[in-house]
Amino acid sequence: MPLLEVRNLHVCVEGREILHGLDLTVNAGEVHAIMGPNGSGKSTLSHVITGKPGYQITAGRILFKGEDLLALGPDQRAAKGIFLAFQYPVEIPGVTTMNFLRTALNAQRRARGQSGYSTPHFLKRARTVAKQLNIPQSMLKRGVNVGFSGGEKKRNEILQMALFEPVLCILDEIDSGLDIDALRIVAEGINAMRSPSRSMIVITHYQRLLNYVVPDVVHVMSKGRVVKSGDKQLALELEASGYAQFEDAA
């Protein structure tokens, strides 16, 4: 059984259809890249999978481990191990990264029927994971994303993702605005999380990230549909030929 099955998904925002019959199948352990021009519906898809309000699903279905995902609320989906790393991480002054992560993680653990981590237990785990991801301890004591560089914000997202131990990670343009060194560090964090029991959907406009996070499957989205799928070679072809060819076909 696939981990995630999206079938003939039609989605409207404010009365306008944005996704027009999208199909996508992700098996356990696979890393899928979704590429496509701005406005093709990539972020919409990630929001609909995680259950963000404001989207009307007018047709189609999404199954997660064979279960109807659309029947579940966002918290229930998070509890099942679906994690979305944001394109634009928010700043929260006055709340340390450590406290933010502990609160978020414990909420998720309780939703899963697990007990929350005690502060010492959480600190130990956060420090271990931060070390694995090359995140300086000092970052954990600072306000959430306050004064963080673009690279630090993205690394913080990866830290949060690692602590959550998700089954399905969705990374929406995690590479945007990163210089090459920051990109490499973020990519190493993503690669460290690859496992046969974890799937990833890596949304990106550019091929560059995929030099570091090598996907099993590459999809091209255009105008609210997946219009082409292939292996990692497809990303290289796109880099050479651009998206214009798909704009007409879609």
Exposed/middle/buried for residue 2 (C-beta within 10 Å: 0-12, 13-18, 19+): middle
Please give the Cα distance from 222 to 246 (Å, whole number): 6
Q: Give the nearest distance from C-beta 226 to ligand ADP in angstroms.
A: 12
Residues 50 to 69 in contact with ligand ADP, rule: CB under 6 A: 54
Please give the Cα distance from 133 to 144 (Å, whole number): 17
Task: Choose the binding region for ligand ADP from 11-19, 75-83, 144-152, 192-200 (rule: CB under 6 A).
Answer: 11-19
- The answer to whether residue 18 forms part of the interface with ligand ADP (CB under 6 A) is yes
219 forms beta bridges with 34, 229
Q: Give the nearest distance from C-beta 140 to ligand ADP in angstroms.
A: 30
Q: If binding means CB under 6 A, how many residues of this protein chain bind ligand ADP?
A: 12
Q: Which does 13 bind (CB under 5 to 8 A by kind): ligand ADP, Mg ion, none?
A: ligand ADP
- The answer to whether residue 219 forms part of the interface with ligand ADP (CB under 6 A) is no
Task: Choose the binding region for ligand ADP from 41-49, 91-99, 121-129, 149-157 (rule: CB under 6 A).
Answer: 41-49
Task: Name which of 133 and 203 has its Cβ closer to Mg ion.
Answer: 203
Among 36, 51, 81, 166, binds ligand ADP (CB under 6 A): 36
Estimate to the nearest angstrom the gap between the alpha carbon of 231 and the chain centroid.
Answer: 20
Among 4, 32, 43, 228, binds ligand ADP (CB under 6 A): 43
Among 3, 9, 44, 81, binds ligand ADP (CB under 6 A): 44
Binding site for Mg ion (CB under 5 A): 38, 42-43
- The answer to whether residue 38 forms part of the interface with ligand ADP (CB under 6 A) is yes
20 forms beta bridges with 10
Please give the Cα distance from 87 to 166 (Å, whole number): 18
Note every long-range contact of 62-67, with CB atoms under 8 Å and residues 24 or more positions apart, other chains counting. Answer: 62/4, 62/5, 62/6, 62/7, 62/9, 63/2, 63/4, 63/5, 63/7, 64/3, 64/4, 64/168, 65/1, 65/3, 66/1
DSSP 201: E
Among 4, 35, 42, 144, binds ligand ADP (CB under 6 A): 42
Q: Could you tell me whether strands 143-144 and 16-26 are parallel, antiparallel, or unpaired per DSSP bridges?
A: unpaired
- The answer to whether residue 24 forms part of the interface with ligand ADP (CB under 6 A) is no
Query: Cα dihedral sign for 163, 88, 23, 74?
Result: positive
Residues forming contacts to ligand ADP in the complex (CB under 6 A) are 13-14, 18, 36, 38-44, 54
